[in-house]
Amino acid sequence: GENVEQHPSTLSVQEGDSAVIKCTYSDSASNYFPWYKQELGKRPQLIIDIRSNVGEKKDQRIAVTLNKTAKHFSLHITETQPEDSAVYFCAASRRGGADGLTFGKGTHLIIQP
């Protein structure tokens, strides 16, 4: 089955700096890579996703890159703000959101004022 590794487990950055979280996956048939943000006590919410026919996708301060050859994908957050503090999870699946997702273990992002 699929295995998703996520690094780092904790990331502390100064407000206004950039943050990068990296994931690798093992199943070459995976073609959907979502990122979820989970604030303390709240449900995970999708913030951005990418499919295997695309190398990069941006949404305002958030971007995701995908390298299918190396089987890794990354989340980039620029100009970080206090409200970006949360746990971020990467995931992978073979059939988009219609399939069970395999998640990484999560990254606790801390934005220092």
Partner 1 sequence: DVKVTQSSRYLVKRTGEKVFLECVQDMDHENMFWYRQDPGLGLRLIYFSYDVKMKEKGDIPEGYSVSREKKERFSLILESASTNQTSMYLCASSLAGQDYEQYFGPGTRLTVT
Site string for partner 1, 32-71 (x = CB under 8 A): x-x-x-----xxxxx--x----------------------
Tokens of residue 95, six digits: 């059939």
Q: Based on CB atoms, which residue is closest to partner 1, 86 or 104?
A: 104
* Minimal distance, residue 15 CB to partner 1, in Å: 26
Q: How far apart are CA 37 and CA 44, in angstroms?
A: 5
Tell me if 49 sits within 8 A of 33, measured CB to CB. yes
Region of 16 (left: φ > 0; alpha: ψ -120 to 50; beta: rest) is left
**In this complex, which beta carbon is closest to partner 1, that of residue 18 or of residue 45?**
45
**Position 40: which residue type?**
L
Task: Report the interface residues with partner 1, using CB under 8 A.
Answer: 1, 6, 9, 31-32, 34, 36, 42-46, 49, 89, 91, 95-106
